[in-house]
Structure 1
Amino acid sequence: MNTELNATWADNLKRRLGLQLSVSLTVWRASPLLIMKTSDCSEIAAMKFARQNTNIPIPRIHESDSRDWLFMDFIDGETLWECWDRLSFFRRFRVACTLRLFIKQLRALAPPAALIVGSLDSGHAKGIVFGETEYAPFRSMDHFRRFCNVAAFLGWEHTPGTNAIRLEVGPPPRPTMDWTPVFSHADLNRSNIILDRQGTLWIIDWAMAGFYPRCIEPIVMQDMEDPVMFPQLANSSWPSFIPFIAGRVTDEEKAYWRYVTTGIDHRRPGVTV
Structure 2
Amino acid sequence: MDPVHVLDDKELAERIGQARMDPNKEELDDVVSAITRARNPGIRTPSIKRLVPILNSVRTECITQRIHGPTLEECWANLGWLSTIRLAFQLRSMVSRMRSITSPTAGSLGTGICRSLWLEEYYGVPAKASPAVISSIVNFWHNLVNFRREASKTVEQHKAACAGPTTPEASLAFTHTDLAPRNIILEEATSNLWLIDWDKAGYYPRCFEYAGMRNFRIPSHWGWFGELRWKLFCWIAAGWYEKERIMLREIHRKAGRFPAARRFNIKAGVTPSQKKVDD
The normalised TM-score by structure 1 is 0.70
Residue in 2 that maps onto 1:48: 36
Residue in 1 that maps onto 2:47: 60
Q: CA deviation at 1:38?
A: 5.0
Q: Deviations over 1:178-199 (max 9, x none)?
A: 6331111100010100011212
Alignment match of 1:245 (pick from 224, 233, 237): 237
CA distance in 1, matches of 2:43, 2:135: 30
Residue in 1 that maps onto 2:249: 258
Contact 2:91 2:237 in 1 (8 A): yes
- 1:141-180 superposed matches below 5 A: 141-154=131-144, 156-157=145-146, 174-176=164-166, 179=169, 180=171
Structure (1/2) with the larger strand percentage:
1
CA distance in 2, matches of 1:192, 1:254: 19
CA distance in 1, matches of 2:20, 2:71: 16
- 1:1-273 superposed matches below 5 A: 38=23, 40-52=28-40, 54-64=41-51, 66=53, 68-111=60-103, 116-131=105-120, 135-154=125-144, 156-157=145-146, 174-176=164-166, 179=169, 180-198=171-189, 199-224=191-216, 231-235=220-224, 236=226, 237-251=229-243, 253-265=244-256, 266-268=258-260, 270-271=263-264, 272=266, 273=271
Which consecutive residues of structure 2, in runs of 5 or more, have no partner in the other structure? 1-18, 54-58, 148-160, 272-279
1:64 counterpart SS class: strand
Distance 1:139 1:214, change over 3 A: closer
Q: Counterpart of 1:141 in structure 2: which amino acid?
A: P
Which consecutive residues of structure 1, in runs of 5 or more, have no partner in the other structure? 1-24, 28-36, 159-170
CA distance in 2, matches of 1:139, 1:220: 20
Q: CA deviation at 1:136?
A: 1.1
CA distance in 1, matches of 2:166, 2:134: 16
Q: Counterpart of 2:108 in structure 1: which amino acid?
A: S
CA distance in 1, matches of 2:125, 2:221: 34
Distance 1:244 1:139, change over 3 A: closer
Distance 1:43 1:138, change over 3 A: closer
Contact 1:119 1:208 in 2 (8 A): yes
Distance 1:149 1:59, change over 3 A: same
Residue in 2 that maps onto 1:30: none
Structure (1/2) with the larger helix percentage:
2
Q: Deviations over 1:149-177 (max 9, x none)?
A: 223333x437xxxxxxxxxxxx9994456
Contact 1:106 1:184 in 2 (8 A): yes
CA distance in 1, matches of 2:210, 2:143: 22
Q: Deviations over 1:101-145 (max 9, x none)?
A: 01000000133xxx6101111212222223477531145322222
Contact 2:114 2:126 in 1 (8 A): yes
CA distance in 2, matches of 1:65, 1:217: 30
CA distance in 1, matches of 2:99, 2:231: 21
Q: CA deviation at 1:234?
A: 4.6
CA distance in 2, matches of 1:139, 1:98: 31
Distance 1:173 1:83, change over 3 A: farther
Give identity over the alignment, percent.
Answer: 26
Tell me which structure has the larger Cα radius of gyration: 2
Aligned length: 219
Which portions of structure 1, spanning 4 or more consecutive aligned residues, are displaced by more than 4 angstroms? 230-234
CA distance in 2, matches of 1:38, 1:139: 22
Distance 1:257 1:64, change over 3 A: closer
CA RMSD, Structure 1 to Structure 2 (Å)? 2.9
The normalised TM-score by structure 2 is 0.69
